[in-house]
Amino acid sequence: MALKKKVKNLDAVFNPSSIAVIGASREPNKIGHVIVKNFVDGGFSGNVYPINPNAEEILGLPAYKSVLDVPGKVDSAVIAVPAKAVAQVLDECGRKGVRGVVLITGGFSEVGNTEEEKKIAEIANRYEIALIGPNCMGVLTPASRVDSVFLPIYKLGRPRVGGISFISQSGAVGGCIVDLAARAGVGMGKFVSYGNAAVIDECDLLEYLASDRQTEIIVVYLEGVRDGRRLLEVAKKITRKKPIVMLKAGKSAHGAEAALSHTGSLAGSAEAYSAAFRQSRIIEAATLEQLFDFAKIFDQVLPCGKRIGIVTNGGGMGVLAVDSLEYEGLELAEFSEETKKLLRASLPSYANVRNPLDIIGDADSSRYEVAINALLRDENVDAIVVVILFQTAAIDSSVVNIVIRASDLRKKPIIAVCTGGEYTEMHKRILESYGVPSYSSPSSAMRALARFISYAEHYSRYNKVPCDAPIKKSK
């Protein structure tokens, strides 16, 4: 996919070797101070240049009156100055040769100030600057320690390095996902809050991430789009190689009005968007929880079919899992005779060796190991759902190691269902930090698994690869 010059210049936004923070402040409660501190404390290895005409230094770094006064090259800039000053400092960035800008400042089309937004777009386009914003929260690239998000690290967790890249029209929604990812141990390739999209929009960001080697899954929170046809065409190309999970907000009449006042975006018809998503093979999420649930399952190897094996130490949870499985159009696997024979020899006589496989409430981790290994070998099972009730007396942390080791074999998708309080949540986070997607209910697990299986069929058919092949990394 050939990239436009402005889209190519997004490299300067996500992976700069030097960055200027225009509007840097000495006051800890100001956005300009938080951004400088995030770069300093986060371990960014490049040069950071605070720009403030009234300061000699900020956080131990020499401060400059203008970006034009910086002695070296400046790849990228973060602008956090009042709206009336943006045009001048953006023009100075262009004259300095800055290739990428993150414009945090609000007060443009979202409040009816469309003329000033057009003016800054014209300046950015004249200098071929990749401009994110205005009215945005910033960007993150965990691998290169780029962090222009204006929320402090002690309030908003930063995720580890991973393969999920997140595009959000809303900074607030994006911040919630980043915080959740950090808490759950889910890795992120890139994050961008793009706000009003005066220059760089969601289609540009999708094109960039399609060629990004760090990005394996693209997740999008969308309120509105200016060019629906282009979005459809771009997404069709990308979903042949990478999954896109998208949440479309502003579906209700009042929600559409809220979207217009939030980022100046026209929301459009919910039905039209859903139809376009189906055509382009975008995986549509209905809620914020689903957005996160669907994205994390793609850490697993692609499944070869929809026959599901269920292992549980609680019979009722097995019943709920079967109900959800059938609702989502999946199939309950029929265990092979060899598997049944192995299970009968290994499990207590009071265990019933059928699917769902209830290994009984007194099961310990070794019983889980026997069951999971048996289902891994069974050719009638395409994916395994492991339900773990951590509340039972015999279960301890060792079961987590067993599930992780089985998942690391990359033979079949393995996902976990862990329902409970803080003790359960602690183990759930450990599983997710090692790439095992974990869910709080059978219904959420089966919903995500159904989308994963549907995408796997599309990916395997289009790329003519074995069904259990991993998704290829971008070159």
Give the lowest-confidence range in 199-203, 270-274, 355-359, 416-420.
270-274
**Does the CA dihedral 23-26-31-35 come out positive or negative?**
positive
Higher pLDDT, 155 or 32: 32
Sequence-distant (6+) residues with CB within 8 A of 307 are 330, 331, 332, 333, 334, 380, 381, 382, 383
**d(C-alpha 446, C-alpha 388), whole Å:** 15
Question: Is pLDDT of 199 > 50?
Answer: yes
Per-residue pLDDT, 437: 95
**Does the CA dihedral 183-184-187-192 come out positive or negative?**
negative
Over residues 31-44, mean pLDDT? 95
Backbone angles phi, psi at 291, to 5 degrees: -55, -45
* The pair of three-digit structure tokens given for residue 251, joined into one six-digit string: 């579906």
Per-residue pLDDT, 475: 43
Mean pLDDT of the chain: 91
How confident is residue 64, by pLDDT bands cut at 50, 70 and 90?
very high
Over residues 196-210, mean pLDDT? 95
Count the Cβ atoms, other than its own, within 10 Å of residue 157. Answer: 16
Angle at 292 between CA 287 and CA 297, to 5 degrees: 125
* Long-range contacts, stretch 247-253, CB < 8 angstroms, 24+ apart: 247/220, 247/221, 247/222, 247/284, 247/285, 247/286, 247/287, 247/288, 247/290, 247/291, 248/222, 248/273, 248/274, 248/277, 248/284, 249/170, 249/173, 249/221, 249/222, 249/223, 250/223, 250/224
Question: Is pLDDT of 204 > 80?
Answer: yes
* The pair of three-digit structure tokens given for residue 455, joined into one six-digit string: 């995408």
The tokens 């371990």 sit on which residue? Answer: 43
Question: Is pLDDT of 414 > 80?
Answer: yes
Give the lowest-confidence range in 20-29, 234-243, 374-383, 465-474.
465-474
The tokens 């549509």 sit on which residue? Answer: 284
pLDDT by residue (tens digit) across 97-128?
A: 999 999 999 999 999 999 999 999 999 999 99
Can the peptide bond before residue 134 be classed as cis, meaning omega within 30 degrees of 0?
Answer: yes
Most confident of 56-60, 155-159, 172-176, 276-280: 56-60
DSSP 69: G
Per-residue pLDDT, 266: 43
Over residues 172-187, mean pLDDT? 86
pLDDT by residue (tens digit) across 222-251?
A: 988 888 889 999 999 999 999 999 999 876
**d(C-alpha 102, C-alpha 4), whole Å:** 18
- Which value, in Å, is the radius of gyration of the alpha carbons in the chain? 25
Q: 331-332 and 383-387 as β-strands: parallel, antiparallel, unpaired?
A: unpaired
Q: 47-51 and 283-285 as β-strands: parallel, antiparallel, unpaired?
A: unpaired
How confident is residue 263, by pLDDT bands cut at 50, 70 and 90?
very low
pLDDT by residue (tens digit) across 295-315?
A: 999 989 999 999 999 999 999
pLDDT by residue (tens digit) across 325-351?
A: 999 999 999 999 999 999 999 999 999
Question: Is pLDDT of 89 > 50?
Answer: yes
Domains of the chain: 5-297 (3.40.50.720), 301-463 (3.40.50.261)
**d(C-alpha 158, C-alpha 148), whole Å:** 12
How confident is residue 267, by pLDDT bands cut at 50, 70 and 90?
very low
Between the CA of residue 225 and those of 128, 213, 221, what are the distances in Å?
A: 22, 26, 11
**d(C-alpha 37, C-alpha 156), whole Å:** 14
Over residues 362-380, mean pLDDT? 97
